[in-house]
Amino acid sequence: MSELTILHDAIAATIKASMPAVQAVQAFPEAPDGLARPAIVFAITAMDPDADPGDGRSGVKATFEACVLVDANLPGAALQAVELAAQMADLLHCQHWNLDFVEGTSSVRAKPADATSESWRKKAWTVQWQQLVYLGQEQWPWDNQGPGSLLLGFSPDTGPGQEDGYFSPEQLA
């Protein structure tokens, strides 16, 4: 299973567990119109290169968008949409979905799905966020060296036969 599939599954599971009033949560829905309401549908809307972690994986800054959909025919639907968008934004605070290949969320923002001068009447809201995702497998291309402890030495007391004089950075404190 790819990192993105695992991430989408974790996002959906976290939203379902944290927002029990939401009837349907789905990533990349085929037809969101047929979902029970209220619903949250979400997807990655952009991916940009980010910092290389230096371990063989690629760092990607993913932009996500979730749409909060409510039954527009119910009284108070606009307020329900705003409340669910606020809950979603709160859920996203420093969220990393209990996964070790993503960093905490950033740039969280919520707004009406179709911003107009009468946006207070809107019954659908979008919540956007960004998240650094590491794709691929960690690699250590140096077969003859394990990823061990860092040891220091000062010239001229370095090189073969001088290993006994090396010390760890912690010993400098």
pLDDT of the chain along its 173 residues, tens only? 699 999 999 999 999 999 999 999 999 888 777 888 999 999 999 999 998 888 889 999 999 999 999 988 889 988 999 999 999 999 999 999 999 999 999 999 999 887 555 544 568 899 999 999 999 988 877 666 665 677 888 888 888 888 888 888 778 77
Model pLDDT, residue 118: 53
Superfamily holding 3-135: Phage minor tail protein U (3.30.70.1700)
- 68 CB contacts (<8 Å, ≥6 apart)? 38, 39, 40, 81, 84, 85, 88, 124, 125, 126, 127
Model pLDDT, residue 150: 78
Model pLDDT, residue 35: 84
Model pLDDT, residue 147: 59
d(CA 167, CA 171): 7
Closest CA to 40 of 104, 129, 101: 129
Model pLDDT, residue 168: 82
Model pLDDT, residue 146: 60
Domain ranges for the chain, please list them: 3-135
Model pLDDT, residue 122: 64
Model pLDDT, residue 68: 94
Give the dihedral sign, CA 119/120/123/129.
Answer: positive
Model pLDDT, residue 25: 95
Q: Which two tokens stand for residue 66?
A: 């979730």
Model pLDDT, residue 154: 87
Q: Could you tell me the pTM of the whole model?
A: 0.77
Q: Which amino acid is present at 68?
A: V
Model pLDDT, residue 8: 96
Q: What are phi and psi of 39, to 5 degrees?
A: -135, 155
